[in-house]
Amino acid sequence: SCFHAGIYRTEKDKGTLYELTFKGDTKHQFKKIVLFRPFGPVMKVKNENVNMADTLINVIVPLAKRASKFRQFMQNFREMGIQQDGRIHLTVVYFGKEQMNEVKSILENTSKSANFKNFTFIQLNEEFSRGKGLDVGARFWKGNNVVLFFCDVDIYFTAEFLNSCRLNTQPGKKVFYPVLFSQYNPSIIYGHHDSIPSLEQQLIIKKETGFWRDFGFGMTCQYRSDFINIGGFDLDIKGWGGEDVHLYRKYLHSNLIVIRTPVRGLFHLWHEKQCLDELTPEQYKMCMQSKAMNEASHGQLGMLVFKQEIETHLHRQKLSSKKT
Q: What is the pLDDT of residue 51?
A: 87
Assess whether pLDDT exceeds 90 at residue 282: no
Does residue 292 share a domain with residue 202? no
What is the rounded CA–CA span in Å between residue 80 and residue 192? Answer: 32
Q: What is the pLDDT of residue 302?
A: 62
Assess whether pLDDT exceeds 60 at residue 240: no
In a domain, 144, yes or no: yes
Q: What percent of the chain has pLDDT over 90?
A: 54
Does residue 220 share a domain with residue 87? yes
Q: What is the pLDDT of residue 304?
A: 63
Does residue 285 share a domain with residue 139? no
When mean pLDDT is compared across 65-79, 176-190, 208-222, 307-321, the lowest value belongs to 307-321
What is the domain extent for residue 295? Answer: 281-319
Q: What is the pLDDT of residue 235?
A: 79
Does residue 210 share a domain with residue 300? no
Does residue 285 share a domain with residue 264? no
Output the domain CATH number for residue 125: 3.90.550.10
Does residue 128 share a domain with residue 8? no
pTM of the model: 0.79
Mean pLDDT value across residues 256-274? 87
Does residue 180 share a domain with residue 66? yes
Q: What is the pLDDT of residue 149?
A: 98
pLDDT in tens, 89-138: 999 999 999 999 999 999 999 999 999 999 999 999 999 999 999 999 99
The residue type found at 123 is Q
pLDDT in tens, 29-48: 888 899 999 988 877 877 77
Does residue 120 share a domain with residue 232? yes
Does residue 183 share a domain with residue 40? no
State how many domains the chain has.
Answer: 3
In a domain, 275, yes or no: no
